[in-house]
Amino acid sequence: MAANEMDVFANEEKRNLELGGHVGFDSLPDQLVSKSVAQGFCFNILCVGETGIGKSTLMNTLFNTTFENEEASHYESEVHLRPQTYDLQESNVNLKLTIVHTVGFGDQINREQSYKPILEYIDAQFESYLEEELKIKRSLFNYHDTRIHICLYFIAPTGHSLKSLDLVTMKKLDSKVNIIPVIAKADTVSKSELDKLKIKIMSELVSNGVQIYQFPTEDEAVAEINSSMNSHLPFAVVGSLEDIKVGNKMVKARLYPWGSVQVENENHCDFVKLREMLLRVNMEDLREQTHARHYELYRRCKLEEMGFKDTDPDSQSFSLQETYESKRKEFLLELQRKEEEMRQMFVNKVKETEAELKEKEKELHDRFEQLKRMHQDEKRNLEEKRRELEEEMNAFNRRKVAAETLMGQALQGCSQQPFKKDKDKKNFFSLPSACSLTSGRNLN
């Protein structure tokens, strides 16, 4: 019975009542405006394009100021993103503007992974916002939102179509961020060629399934202008902060020998259209699209990975505590399984290492024994050689002594030779008497 009553109450049409006088809730929009103005706004722009294509110049022209930006070189080994935040004020509205430059994009020989740092940066900003949302004590009121609201993709006006890098990068980014393609340095292309290039670019984007940002046409106040501007995509832009006198007034333009290109002249380029659509008409829609579409998609995927899900009308409601406990058990089981795998891997690795060490030890022992035998053989050979050398030295010493003896004797003989001659003479003269003595002795 209660269920039927609820159905009847749900199906009952809402009643419209007329007020008898002024109540005052019609000031709610004014209250929201005052609160928003007091709080301030944030707007984050991602500039994707090759080095030297004119990203910084366009940003300076777009906000009519000079941002401090370090000039990038063409020798970056990889792509990295450089965010810079500025506090701007116009009338009584404060804007915290963050401009993110892709330094080194398109400068590498291998550009296959050039888009990855950009995706990682966008996801990191989503993750930071999600972490703030999931905190127990949140401070989203004064949280600095760094989520990218718009990506200006700069297309080089060279060739007659998009580069493969451009198509791949925009395809990877279209589900993460609002993309507005712009043709940079449009003053380097003739008007007829520029029209053909625009048609070719849009045709390639559609054929490759790249979803770029379309200006909303639901609001009747801006439906007409947004609808006409959607047909002008991509915008062909020229940037310059140089003031040049044209006629009786000073305008921002680029001066050439043949004349000048006026930045704010819609016959020369689409800069005014870009500024009108980006800042003056659709800035809040870009912020809403970022939160309601791109961030919600990221948030949903993250929560589904964590095990959370929405209940269907026909299914039973689930408990957050039960979901947490179930997810925790799954995590602990997975952790235990990985720990067991790591332990088994460690044991196998230790066994393999021990086997390798034993093999190395055996090789070292065999090598030691071989060296030991070689050492003994060399030692034995050295002993034999030493013995032979000692024998040769002894024989040499004997010969030396004999030679010295003979030489001494020869010297002594030479010194006694005169004395022997005199003695021989004396013996000669006394020889008869000696002979007679001898003969007489013999006779006796």
- Please state the pTM of the whole predicted model: 0.67
In the sheet where 179-183 sits, what is the strand order? 80-90, 93-103, 41-48, 150-155, 179-183, 235-236
Q: Residues 410, 415, 417, 420: what is their CA dihedral angle, to the nearest 10 degrees?
A: -120
In a domain, residue 247? The reply is no
The predicted structure's pLDDT at residue 11 = 53
In a domain, residue 256? The reply is no
Structure tokens at 35: 């609160």
In a domain, residue 1? The reply is no
Reduced 3-state DSSP string for 84-135: EEEEEEECCEEEEEEEEEEECCCCCCCCCCCCHHHHHHHHHHHHHHHHHHHC
Tens-digit pLDDT profile for residues 53-76: 888 889 988 888 888 777 766 677
Say whether both 288 and 342 belong to one domain.
no
Say whether both 235 and 101 belong to one domain.
yes
Say whether both 278 and 385 belong to one domain.
no
Q: What phi and psi, each to the nearest 5 degrees, are found at residue 157?
A: -80, 45
Distance CA 381, CA 372 (A): 14
Say whether both 278 and 374 belong to one domain.
no
Structure tokens at 323: 């979901």
Closest by CA position to 43, among listed 289, 300, 239: 289
Q: Give the domain-ending residue among 306, 329, 356.
A: 306
Q: What phi and psi, each to the nearest 5 degrees, are found at residue 216?
A: -70, 145
Q: Residues 58, 59, 64, 68: what is their CA dihedral angle, to the nearest 10 degrees?
A: -120
The predicted structure's pLDDT at residue 441 = 43
Distance CA 240, CA 254 (A): 6
411 by Cβ neighbours in 10 Å (0-12 / 13-18 / 19+) ranks as: exposed
Structure tokens at 273: 């259209």
Closest by CA position to 157, among listed 232, 238, 214, 213: 238
Say whether both 380 and 298 belong to one domain.
no
In a domain, residue 150? The reply is yes
Closest by CA position to 105, among listed 57, 154, 66, 148: 154
| Spans of the chain below 50 pLDDT | 1-3, 8, 428, 431-444
Distance CA 235, CA 157 (A): 12
Per the structure, the complete domain to which residue 105 belongs is given by 35-239+268-306
Say whether both 233 and 343 belong to one domain.
no
Say whether both 230 and 349 belong to one domain.
no
Say whether both 219 and 341 belong to one domain.
no
The predicted structure's pLDDT at residue 30 = 86
What CATH number does the domain containing 98 carry?
Answer: 3.40.50.300
Structure tokens at 46: 């991602």
DSSP string, 370-432: HHHHHHHHHHHHHHHHHHHHHHHHHHHHHHHHHHHHHHHHHHHHHHHHHHHHHHHHHHHHTHH
For the chain, the domain total comes to 2
Distance CA 170, CA 48 (A): 10
The predicted structure's pLDDT at residue 311 = 61
Say whether both 77 and 172 belong to one domain.
yes
In a domain, residue 46? The reply is yes
In a domain, residue 431? The reply is no
60 touches 270 (CB < 8 A): no
Say whether both 85 and 142 belong to one domain.
yes
In the chain, what's the furthest Cα-to-Cα distance? 203
In a domain, residue 412? The reply is no
Distance CA 147, CA 43 (A): 9
Tens-digit pLDDT profile for residues 17-28: 888 888 888 888
